[in-house]
Homo-oligomer: A and B are copies of this chain.
Amino acid sequence: MWHIHVFPHTVFSLESKDWARVAFASAFSIAKESSAFHRNKKMVRRKIPIKKIDDVTARQVTFSKRKSGLFKKARELSLLCDAEIALIVFSPGGKLFDYGSSSMQKVIERHILRSELNLEKLDQSCPTEQVRCNYADLNKEFADRTREMRQLNGEELQGLTLRELQKLEERLDSSLNRVYKAKVENFIKEIGILKEKMIKLPRNEICSVQRHEHEQGQLFDTSLTLGLPFPAGSK
């Protein structure tokens, strides 16, 4: 495989070297005819570091451009993926720009619902009609969540189809895997801590350390049950 590189970014690959030469030779002679050959453009668009732009004018221009880009992206994401989105932007000058995929208010309220921190504030002010509506929504969502969790607990499985059971099982299995991994990580960490302690202790205290290890026996048993190779160097 042969490559034609037009630095710095473009690479074109060809299977035959001869072929590449011929192609390029032709291209070169054609290119020489071009007027573009004789133009000399300057290069622009440097990469900028992500920190506050010092120059005021440049900052404003960038703000304007990037803001419109951001809103466009938000709109697109909402449309493409059927997501509910709220975007609020205050310019440095204090001007407000916003976008809400459905109703700004609905999205914000939904957000507040999820945030315990905001709960106090919510209690202070008077909830609106919409909040009460959301109360019903929350109630419904809660019921759904409860049913889902029952099924995750392996209850109420009668009504499910084979396919649904299959999905449930896969979900549980992957959850189990993650939990297992977390446990193993935790386990390895604990082993590390124990080893460190052991090294630091003077010889005449080793005994008590060993007792301590024994108390943690379950920890070791667990690892063995799961087929973990015993960590190298541990005693």
Instruction: Give A contacts to B, CB under 8 Å.
Output: 2-7, 10, 12-28, 30-31, 34, 36-37, 39-41, 43, 48, 50-53, 59-60, 62-63, 66-67, 69-70, 73-77, 79-92, 94, 96, 98, 104-105, 107-108, 110-119, 121-132, 135-136, 138-143, 145-146, 148-149, 152-155, 157-158, 160-163, 165-166, 168-169, 171-180, 182-183, 186-187, 190, 219, 222, 225-226, 231-233, 235
Contact = CB atoms under 8 A, between A and B. Distances in A.
A12 to B, nearest CB: 6
A14 B33 CA distance: 12
B40 A12 contact: no
Given A148-B149, A175-B152, A81 B94 contact: no
Contact of A145 (B88, B142, B178): B142
Contact of A70 (B30, B37, B77): B77
A27 B12 contact: yes
Contacts of A118: 105, 128
B81 A76 contact: no
Nearest to A112: B108
Given A53-B81, A77-B70, A81-B63, A18 B30 contact: no
A31 B22 contact: yes
Quick one: which of A98, A111, A138 has the most chain B CB within 10 A?
A: A111
Quick one: which of A24, A66, A84 has the most chain B CB within 10 A?
A: A24
4 shortest A-B CB distances, which residue pairs? A154-B178, A27-B27, A26-B27, A154-B175
Contacts of A28: 12, 23, 27
A118 B125 CA distance: 12
A22 B10 contact: no
Contact of A154 (B128, B174, B219): B174
Contacts of A12: 24, 27-28, 31
